[in-house]
Chains A and B, each alone.
Chain A
Amino acid sequence: MTGHVRISLAAWAATVLGSLVLAPVFSGPFLFISAFLCALVTGTGILLQNLRAPRIVVPVVQLAVLVELLSLIFLRDTLRFGLVPWKETALEFNQQMVNAMSAINRFSAPLPPDDHLTLFAASVIAATGLLIHLIAVQLRQAAWAGLLLLTMYTVPAATVHGGLPALLFIPPAVGYIVLLSAEGRTRLSRWGRRISGVSHLDASEPIEASALGQAGRRIGLTVIVLAALVPALLPTLPEGVIGNGLAGGGGSGGGIGASISSTDPMLDMGKNLKRGDNVTALTYTGGPAGGTYLRLTALDQFDGNIWRISQRNQGQKITNADMLPPQGFNGDLAKVPTTKMKVEVSRSFRSQFAPVPYPLRSISLKDRWRYDPASLDVVSTNGGVVGGKDYNLEAYQLPLTPELLRDTPPGAEPDSYTSQVPTSNMDEIRQLTNDVVADAKGNRFQQAVLLQNFFRSNGNFTYSTDTDTKSGMTALRMFLLDDRVGYCEQFATGMALMARVAGIPSRVGIGFLPGQAGKDGQYVVRMHDMHAWPELYFQGLGWVRFEPTPSARVATTPTWTEQAAPVPSTPTTAPTTAPTTPGASVDPELERPGDRNLPDDNGLAVTETGNWFSNGGAKAIGIGLLVVVLLGIPWLIRSLTRRRRFARPPGRAGVEGLWAEIRDTSRDLGLDWSDSSTPRQLGEWMAGKVPEPVQPQARRLARGLEAVRYAVVTDVEVDLRSEAADVRKALWSQAKLVRRWRARLLPPSWRWYLNRGSAEASDLLDEFDLLLARIRTSLVPRRSRHAD
């Protein structure tokens, strides 16, 4: 096999392996199609190269072949004479790409197996394969092809909700190593065979058996194995221990929260709820007793699949004057009581939206911060984040009561989109909604309360963040009609959708639960307090918050929804208790750590003292203790080993153990114990290190070892424990203080054991090399290898 053929095949293999990472993003047969396309493109390249075609011609022809193949497979109808791509083909391709991009923007992964998406995926992979071929074969720069593989990997890594399967990085990594190895082998073979002393013994060995190729393969293999194993073996550290726990470096998208790249606030909330740590997002003082919900934004547009923020205008400039009145509120705002608050947002919370209560009257954030009059959310206009800011604000406390809400007139809509309901696949949900709100007799508020009760108690819903990572309409349908397991995202969007079905305009608020009350009236809100809730529109009162999420997560419902509708006296088999009762009978496995942050309407349940110990001191002590424990492990193991060795009965194993103990002690004390010295030599060496009275013991120990190790096996009971103890003590007393402490805390004999471990690993790798060589020998005939 010639060099370019080998690299071409390796480039193809790398592309195919690399494309596997897209499996969680797209669905359908795109992997097979793209592998087939790449194979034909690669074959074209090999053929042209063998025909000695000019280097510039090869990629051009390959591209032409790729275009023809894509057209034949996907755009056959637009071809002239059934074969020649024409202008219509290009237009159709463009249209398909636009459709695909639109679908990608609309849906979250995995994308449906539509034709345009398959075309998109196959085109992207095949084009990447073409580029990899170009870089690795034509330009002979295989290493740079790794960037393309990396790019391919970043797509699912950045978009797949809930992260990628842990081991999905292995195929592209292996592909890259295959490519590098093929390239290295070809490059070396151009220099001829290696020079060796005994030429007749290894002249026939292929070049890759050289130490260089071997080392490369070993490093690659070791790195992949380590990368796969180490994260699995490590305990999940709370991210806050290492950094601020937030990966959101320079995420400049419209995202909120700690996530990096997503533009979907719902995704961010899901991630924050599931994250391992629970860092503080913000603190606030003031506000109503018992705390208040803080909202970031409202998702008011539902496109049939996901909830998103509607297209907004520039927003209103924030001034010292009052903001525009809350949408739909017709009362006299001058008579509405207000509450003042001071909010301090943690640096780690990198959102472009400021958490504020609804409805907001005024806020001290100025300059680049604006507010949207309809939703009253406060957003940065230049991509700045709210993290690290503190601001004062004043919010209305609308006087909502069940009676007031019940009397609102029906029919009004605030805008054109908050009432939109998908047109397809809605029959079952419509039926369900009608069943649930049947008792309301057309009253909007009654309907809303019935819906809330349905989610909280009557509908057998279970709160759990361990749900499938799917989102969108499919997941929502499953939640409403099938498994009824979800977290606040599903509850909020489910109620919002059913409210729209019932004719009530709705949107989904995203923000924080009130958090945990601390001393001095300060509330601490953490990442796990992120929450979503529906807001329903009532004529004359505006947007009103409801709470469908069960008591396992949120104990109380808004006061204006209580005693408004007759709640069934027996909640039957509902897994959650009735509203307003903190989850007493909740399945403990489903309870979130955030449950301790349950809002407290009376403001009484103050559990956090906020002293040094709870504010990180405990963690510091814990880390300190951990360090002490870690430092103590070598000492502990050495002590136990020593004890075990001295406890062995006299005889061969006993003497070997004592000898090993003296060896390890010598190494621990920094003495130069040689593995290639015989016991007799070491006995003399030891005698030179210890005081004169102990010298005979040292020699006796060595002779004893000789006897048990080399003489005819007998059942003699040689007891050398006192000799070993004397020698050990003498060696110890001769050592300097620093050495002794090092021997206690960081015994260097460990290093020797580590070396021994690495030697075992090296043996394992030798076996691996041998296996590879055998496979190669059996697969590739000897003559063809010689042709290189």
Chain B
Amino acid sequence: MSTTATSSAMDFDELTEVAGRVRRAIETVIEGKPDVVETAVTVLLAEGHLLIEDVPGVGKTMLAKALARSIDCTVRRIQFTPDLLPSDITGVSVFNQEVRDFEFKPGAVFANIVVGDEINRASPKTQAALLESMEERQVTVDTTTYQLEAPFMVIATQNPIEMEGTYPLPEAQRDRFMARVSMGYPEPAAELRMLDGHSATDPLNNLQPVTDSQQVLRLVKTVHSVHVSESVKEYAVALVGATRRSQELRLGASPRATLHLIRAARAAAALDSREFVLPDDLQELAVPVLAHRVLPAAEAHLGGRGASDIITGLVASVPLPRTRRD
């Protein structure tokens, strides 16, 4: 018992230490956005995929690259364009004259971290190819299934402003992303520091990996050991259920959202060196995990309330589950 407890404590120490290193590494590139970085690391440890949505030039791609670069693992970057084909993502079987047989050339998705830049620029067919592999963590080409190597994480960026020539991700596909973050503009001070630091050299070039894929896998395993009490599960169900009943939402969150919420909360608890999830974790993650999956009703739009505001309101109104005996 004590051995397990000790090893468990060591695991958590390692996790916080490694996560801290990753965070610090990313923050050398992305300044003044600790929340976004925190969420990105959380999603990494929760085995989810991250959608970064914001206007151009705020560092979406930089964040994706920085996260990928800070881990010593295979990284692929796909620039989504309208003429990108699904086979570019998944790979293709070509006939090898030498061996006189078809040979599979893996596509861009065969990597530990896949950075999908401007995912909404590709055609829905191509988007679907990526999203399918995201969910199933495998690729099927010509009846042959190829497993993707763990850890596997897709970090996609999209630009919500430019609508011309884009194919916005449908709700079903947005649901595959564990969390969505918005970069937001940096603080003036952070922007000043950026001018100093980034004007001469690309900080990404200086970024060295601080961990490797094997260690990340170990950390993920540690996250799995985080305890989720019945009370917290009930609270997660209540929160997600509230999105389905809310008058302000046309579409509530899916059961997959509940699953993602709990998984993300586990990672957040582990990052906080805690062996159990608190309702606070769910509350903090509610907006990044739920907001991109719901559709505000027309009235909410007219009232100027976005999905994030509505989720924040729900968090403030859904009571914590009652204890049976008090």
A678-B280 contact given A197-B298, A656-B326, A712-B275, CB 8 Å threshold: yes
Q: Which of A676-710 contact B (CB under 8 A)?
A: 676-681, 706, 709-710
Instruction: Answer yes or no: B318 CB below 8 A from chain A CBs.
Output: yes
Instruction: Answer yes or no: A653 CB below 8 A from chain B CBs.
Output: yes
Q: Which A residues are CB-close (under 8 A) to B232?
A: 710
A681 with B320: CB separation less than 8 A: no
B318 with A676: CB separation less than 8 A: yes
Q: Which B residues are CB-close (under 8 A) to A681?
A: 280
Instruction: Answer yes or no: A198 CB below 8 A from chain B CBs.
Output: yes
Q: Given A198, A663, A679, A711, which contacts B229 in the complex, CB threshold below 8 Å? A: A711
Complex: chain A residue closest to B235, CB-CB: A678
Q: Could you say which interface size class chain A belongs to?
A: 20 to 34
Q: Which B residues are CB-close (under 8 A) to A645?
A: 326
Q: Which B residues are CB-close (under 8 A) to A706?
A: 278
Instruction: Answer yes or no: B21 CB below 8 A from chain A CBs.
Output: no
Q: Which A residues are CB-close (under 8 A) to B283?
A: 678
B280 with A198: CB separation less than 8 A: no
Q: Which B residues are CB-close (under 8 A) to A679?
A: 278-279
Complex: chain B residue closest to A653, CB-CB: B325
Q: Which A residues are CB-close (under 8 A) to B318?
A: 676
Q: Given A197, A660, A710, A712, which contacts B326 in the complex, CB threshold below 8 Å? A: A660
Instruction: Answer yes or no: A270 CB below 8 A from chain B CBs.
Output: no
What per-residue 1/0 map shows which CB atoms of B266-299 lie under 8 Å from chain A? Answer: 0000000001111110010000000000000110
What per-residue 1/0 map shows which CB atoms of B59-75 lie under 8 Å from chain A? Answer: 00000000000000000
Distance between Cα atoms of A197 and B246 in the complex (Å): 11
Distance between Cα atoms of A362 and B251 in the complex (Å): 91
A710 with B278: CB separation less than 8 A: yes
What per-residue 1/0 map shows which CB atoms of B290-326 lie under 8 Å from chain A? Answer: 0000000110000000000000000111111001011
B326 with A711: CB separation less than 8 A: no
Q: What's the nearest-Cβ distance from chain A to residue B268, in Å?
A: 13
Q: What's the nearest-Cβ distance from chain A to residue B318, in Å?
A: 6
Q: Which B residues are CB-close (under 8 A) to A680?
A: 278, 280
Q: What's the nearest-Cβ distance from chain B to residue A90, in Å?
A: 64
Q: Which A residues are CB-close (under 8 A) to B317?
A: 676
Distance between Cα atoms of A659 and B278 in the complex (Å): 16
Instruction: Answer yes or no: B174 CB below 8 A from chain A CBs.
Output: no
Distance between Cα atoms of A659 and B322 in the complex (Å): 12
A676 with B319: CB separation less than 8 A: yes
B229, B318, B319: which has the most chain A beta carbons within 10 Å?
B229
Distance between Cα atoms of A594 and B279 in the complex (Å): 68
What per-residue 1/0 map shows which CB atoms of A636-667 lie under 8 Å from chain B? Answer: 00000000010000000100110110010000
Distance between Cα atoms of A706 and B280 in the complex (Å): 10
Q: What's the nearest-Cβ distance from chain A to residue B282, in Å?
A: 9
A709 with B319: CB separation less than 8 A: no
Q: What's the nearest-Cβ distance from chain B to residue A676, in Å?
A: 5
A678 with B231: CB separation less than 8 A: no
Instruction: Answer yes or no: A675 CB below 8 A from chain B CBs.
Output: yes
Distance between Cα atoms of A198 and B295 in the complex (Å): 11
A656-B325 contact given A709-B231, A712-B227, CB 8 Å threshold: yes
Complex: chain B residue closest to A705, CB-CB: B323
B251 with A198: CB separation less than 8 A: yes
Q: Which B residues are CB-close (under 8 A) to A656?
A: 323, 325-326
Q: Which B residues are CB-close (under 8 A) to A712?
A: 227, 275-276
The 5 A-B residue pairs with the shortest CB-CB distance, nearest first, are A660-B326, A675-B319, A678-B279, A711-B276, A712-B227
Given pairs A660-B326, A680-B280, 13 additional interface contacts (CB within 8 A): A197-B247, A656-B323, A657-B325, A659-B326, A676-B316, A676-B317, A676-B318, A678-B320, A679-B278, A679-B279, A709-B229, A710-B231, A711-B229
8 A-B contacts (beta carbon < 8 Å): A656-B323, A660-B326, A676-B318, A677-B320, A680-B278, A709-B229, A709-B231, A711-B275
